[in-house]
């Protein structure tokens, strides 16, 4: 029974990691769309001018968002692992 629980927790961790990866890809896609919008709205701005500052700011924002998402996921996995470890001893005698 403990093996099944461990396998389940591995699957849960994999889903959490997959969700994080999806969030990162979504964030990067949002930045790409933002850059395209800036390019269309301000086509006359040079690469080194305000356009560059706007895009740099967008990337910094995404880094912060992805970092926060990663920290949240790490905390969720840590709490889940701790809860699973606390439950395991109670489950093992029942499965024997």
The whole-angstrom separation of Cα 4 and Cα 17 is: 20
- Token pair 């990691």 in the structure block, residue: 17
Range of the domain at 60: 2-95
Amino acid 24: pLDDT: 79
Task: Please report which confidence band the pLDDT of residue 4 belongs to, taking 50, 70 and 90 as the band edges.
Answer: very low
Question: How many structural domains does the chain have?
Answer: 1
Label each residue of the chain as H, E or C: CHHHHHHHHHHHHHHHHHHHHHHHHHHHHHHHHHHHHHHHHCCCCCCCCHHHHHHHHHHHHHHHHHHHHHHHHHHHHHHHHHHHHHHHHHHHHHHC
Residues above pLDDT 90, as percent of the chain? 0
What is this structure's pTM? Answer: 0.53
pLDDT tens string 18-58: 887 888 788 888 888 888 888 888 777 666 677 778 878 88
């Amino acid at each position: 029974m403990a093996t099944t629980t461990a396998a389940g927790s591995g699957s849960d961790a994999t889903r959490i990691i997959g969700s994080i990866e999806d969030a990162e890809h979504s964030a990067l896609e949002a930045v790409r769309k933002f850059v395209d919008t800036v390019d269309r709205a301000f086509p006359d701005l040079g690469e080194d001018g305000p356009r560059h500052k706007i895009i740099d700011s967008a990337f910094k924002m995404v880094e912060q968002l992805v970092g926060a998402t990663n920290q949240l996921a790490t905390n969720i996995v840590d709490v889940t692992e701790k809860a699973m470890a606390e439950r395991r001893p109670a489950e093992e005698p029942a499965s024997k």
